Amino acid sequence: MTTMLGVSLTGRRVVLAGAGDVTARRLSRFLDERADVRVVAPELSPAVAQLVADHEIPWDARGIEPRDVEDAWLVHTATGDASVDARVAAWCEARRIFCVNASDGAHGSARMTAQSRAGDVLVGVTSDAGVDPRRTSRAHAAIRELLDSGRAPLRRVRAAGPGSVALVGGGPGPVDLLTLRARRLIAEADVVVADRLGATGVLDELDPEVEVIHVGKAPGSHPVPQQEINAILVERARAGRRVVRLKGGDPFVYGRGGEEMAACLAAGVAVEVVPGASSAVSVPQAAGIPVTHRGVASGVHLINGQSGVSPATLASLSDPEITTVVLMGVAAFGGIARAALEAGVPGDRPVAFVESGHTPRQRTTRTTLARAADDARAAGVRNPAVIVIGDVARADLLLPEAALAEAAG
């Protein structure tokens, strides 16, 4: 019978006998746990040699001896010689030192687990008797999938220690486009402060006890001012709660994530940023529009349509090799188009309006710069929409004949 224990090895001596492929895998885990590691082996495999050099690990270039295990908390033996590994395990048994014997089906007096971490939750899987790595691997993969999905009950029942804030990019909308880290942090959250757009469907998966605060903005309507949002994040975190600020797109791309991070840092609140797929790239992708394309567009200029037309924007619009992507620009597009045409940008420059990307309501309106404002009004283009200006917005860009013509050129 095996009893599972969570043992901290931080700062404690771990001796590894042997330096082959098995040792390389296990050595990385011991380093991650910040153990005081020492290697004893006549030779090092390339992978172990790299780790020894990178982390300045003490290495005794000889066979292991009884004195090597004297001050160890844990010994891992994988010399490639079962009789040597058995002797090492016996030395440890006599000294009441736990030993992982990689060459023995019974594993010695201790076992390595297949493990997964989700925040401060660590889950290990091992076999109680004998070696069955494939079964252990399958069980571990199923647990890992559950943790990654955000469906595991990871939220703390009560506050423990200081609170924190995570600024999480929700991407363009579909829940399955959230990153694994985003799903894990949302599953752990005590409070979710949510935007109007983005992966709001994930809110349906939350524990009923999770506090959800809606602060979403719409064009011309900001019911919760930014300063109040900052205050909410700081106040909840100071109360010892794990706060997720769930945003559409990426927190640092027109998401005011920088302002919220600054507010948390100024208040002494721990804060991290989790990137999300920015709508500037992911929404055009949903319509089959690459914002860069070899031989067509070598750069991207991103603007907030509400900020007006700067000289830099006019320069990007005038450059046929630059794609200009406009966010929050439906209402302001007429002025942007007029300024571009007056600056000499060709009227036949392709334009695409992609509405509600990655949702069942997605729609793309393709036109040209000279006609775009009229065509958008006629089509009833509405926010949320991403506007792409440049040759990448051509309807025939990715058609087979276009690709063949490009390859021939």
Residue pLDDT, tens place only, 318-359: 999 999 999 999 999 999 999 999 999 999 999 999 999 998
Cα(284)–Cα(216) distance, integer angstroms: 23
Average pLDDT over every residue of 234-261: 95
Catalytic residue of the set 68, 190, 195, 250: 195
Pick the CATH number of 164-277 from 3.40.1010.10, 2.40.10.340, 3.90.1210.10, 3.30.70.980: 3.40.1010.10
The yes-or-no answer on residue 247 being catalytic is: no
- Cβ atoms of 200 and 128 closer than 8 Å: no
CA 367/CA 374 separation, integer angstroms: 10
Q: What is the pLDDT of residue 143?
A: 73
Least confident piece of the model among 318-322, 360-364, 382-386, 402-406: 402-406
281-393 carries CATH number 3.30.950.10: yes
Structure tokens at 182: 């985003």
| 242-252 average pLDDT score | 95
pLDDT tops 70 at residue 239: yes
| Banded pLDDT at 403 (limits 50, 70, 90) | very low
Angle between helices 369-379 and 333-342 (to 10 degrees): 160
**pLDDT at residue 408 greater than cutoff 60:** no
Contacts within 8 Å (CB) and 24+ apart, 117-125: 118/147, 118/152, 118/154, 118/184, 118/187, 118/188, 119/154, 119/184, 119/185, 119/188, 121/147, 121/152, 121/154, 122/6, 123/147, 124/4
pLDDT in tens, 271-281: 999 999 999 99
Q: What digits encode the pLDDT tens for the residues 52-70?
A: 999 999 999 999 999 999 9
User: Is pLDDT at 400 greater than 70 in this prediction?
Assistant: no
Sheet of 350-355, strands arranged across: 299-304, 322-327, 385-389, 350-355, 363-368
Q: For the whole prediction, is pTM greater than 0.75?
A: no
Least confident of 31-35, 252-256, 339-343, 402-406: 402-406
**pLDDT digit string, tens, across residues 66-122:** 999 999 999 999 999 999 999 999 999 999 999 999 886 556 788 877 777 766 677
The active-site residue out of 190, 217, 247, 250 is 217
Question: Is 217 noted as a catalytic residue in this protein?
Answer: yes
Q: What is the pLDDT of residues 141-164, one digit of tens each?
A: 777 777 776 677 777 766 557 899
Question: Does the pLDDT value for residue 1 go beyond 60?
Answer: no
Asked if CATH classification 3.40.50.720 holds for the domain at 1-112, the reply, yes or no, is yes
- CA-CA distance, 101 to 80, in Å (whole number)? 11
The domain locations on the chain are 1-112, 115-149, 164-277, 281-393
Report residue 2's pLDDT band, with 50, 70 and 90 as the boundaries: low
